[in-house]
Amino acid sequence: MDQSLPPGLYIVATPIGNLGDITSRAAQTLRGVDYILAEDKRVTAKLLAHVGAKAPMTAYHDHSDDNLREKILADLATKAVALVSDAGTPLISDPGYKLVRAARQAGHAIYTLPGPSAAIAALTLAGLPTDRFLFLGFLPPKSTARREALKEIANVRATLVLYESGPRLGACLADLHGVLGDRDAAVVREITKLHEETVSGALTELAERYAEAPPKGEIVIVVGPPPEPAEVSDEQLDKTLRELLQQLSPSRAAAEAATRLGVPRKRAYARALDLAGKA
Ligand code: SAM
């Protein structure tokens, strides 16, 4: 018999394919809560049957109306309520953050039960640097907006992790290549499922491979960080600054040189003042 749980919100991560990945604490919690907030009750019903949980379910999305959220918040004072998504960790490109924010503001207990997430699982498979990564979730579906979003983060020195659907994969890879250059990347598909597959390559190769052949199933794209900038010598910096100083003030010439050469603005400004005889 599972012990009864203290009241509060239980954020429960669930498998992203292989039901064996449910943690024993998650299974025990799903059996012990008073009710479960689910994205799609039919999807979660299969998991509940697998772990032998019989708690009733309520459909919840962050765009669910405020009345439902108010009712859940009132319940949290006396009931144990679990939040799950269709697969993986709730709140990660999935509903829940508004509920967690409101529950925290209201002073309710919140417990998290960590477990699978496709983003982290893909990072472990891709063979790309993992020391710094930026999770982008789903990029906009239209190319113009997607390219704008990518331009904003093009200079971030981190591995990128993003979710994408099969039909949009080719176009998304082409935009990644167009904006970020030909970085190393991996397309990680159907993680923990029968047809799990990781295809690594340069963005050009991957964009070409998937242009006319959209793959089936669920997909994470992982893109390596930009290459380290080559060391810029004092001579190179001075040459660029001399040209710019013919038309610009030291401060504007330094800003332009810093952007062009990827050197710190402070370094460019100090040299620009020297060259302009103003140091
Ligand atoms: N909250 C989930 C998590 O923690 O992984 C992600 C939810 S998001 C709505 C669903 C997306 O995650 C899919 O479209 C796909 O990009 C990715 N995804 C989920 N399961 C996956 C799997 N088994 N293999 C590859 N990607 C997966």
The number of the ligand 1 atom at minimal distance from the alpha carbon of 90 is: 1
Q: Are residues 169 and 239 in the same domain?
A: no
Which numbered atom of ligand 1 lies nearest the CA of 190?
A: 24
pLDDT for position 230: 79
Query: What is the SS3 string spanning 63-77?
Result: CCCHHHHHHHHHHCC
At which of 68, 101, 116 does a domain end? 116
Same domain, 13 and 111: yes
Helix (H) / strand (E) element for 82: namely strand 80-83
- The structural domain count of the chain equals 3
Identify whether residues 136 and 180 lie together within a single domain: yes
Q: Which pLDDT value is given to residue 279?
A: 54
For position 63, what pLDDT does the model report? 85
The closest of 212, 210, 213 to 221, measured between CA atoms, is: 210
CA–centroid distance, residue 15 to ligand 1 (Å): 10
Distance from the CA of 267 to the center of ligand 1, in angstroms?
44
Q: Give the domain CATH number at 35.
A: 3.40.1010.10
pLDDT given at position 7 = 98
Phi, psi of 184, rounded to the nearest 5 degrees: -70, 145
Strands 80-83, 35-38: pairing is parallel
Parent domain of 268:
234-278
Domain final residue pick, 81, 116, 151: 116
| pTM score | 0.85
Q: Per the structure block, which two tokens stand in for 215?
A: 């793959």
The verdict on 182 and 133 lying in the same domain is yes
Q: Are residues 82 and 125 in the same domain?
A: no
Cα–Cα distance measured from residue 163 to residue 174, given in angstroms and rounded to the nearest whole number: 15
Instruction: DSSP for 101-165, please give it.
Output: HHHHHTT--EEEE----HHHHHHHHH-S--SSEEEEEEPPSSHHHHHHHHHHHTT--SEEEEEEE
CATH of the domain at 197: 3.30.950.10
Q: Whose CA is nearest to atom 13 of ligand 1?
A: 218
Could you tell me if residue 201 is inside a domain?
A: yes
Q: Among 116, 151, 184, where does a domain finish?
A: 116
| Same-domain pairing of 23 and 57 | yes
pLDDT digits (tens, 9 = 90+) for 32-76: 999 999 999 999 999 999 999 999 999 998 888 889 999 999 999
Answer yes or no: are the C-beta atoms of 208 and 226 closer than 8 Å: no
**Contact, 136 vs 222, CB < 8 A?**
no
Residues pairing with 242 in the sheet: none
Q: How far is the CA of 118 from the centre of ligand 1 (A)?
A: 5
pLDDT of residue 2: 57
Show pLDDT as tens, one digit a residue, over the chain (279 residues): 456 899 999 999 999 999 999 999 999 999 999 999 999 999 999 999 999 999 999 999 888 888 999 999 999 999 999 999 999 999 999 999 999 999 999 999 999 999 999 999 999 999 999 999 999 999 999 999 999 999 999 989 999 999 999 999 999 999 999 999 999 999 999 999 999 999 999 999 999 999 999 999 999 999 999 988 778 899 999 999 999 999 999 999 999 898 788 788 999 999 999 999 865
Same domain, 19 and 97: yes
Alpha helices in the chain (DSSP H): 24-32, 41-51, 66-75, 97-105, 118-126, 143-153, 166-180, 203-211, 234-245, 250-261, 265-275
**Do residues 190 and 243 share a domain?**
no
Beta bridge partners of 164: 219
Place of tokens 């499922």: 193
151 CA → ligand 1 middle, Å:
24
Identify the pLDDT of residue 1. Answer: 47
Check residue 3 and give its pLDDT.
Answer: 64
Residue 3 lies in a domain: no
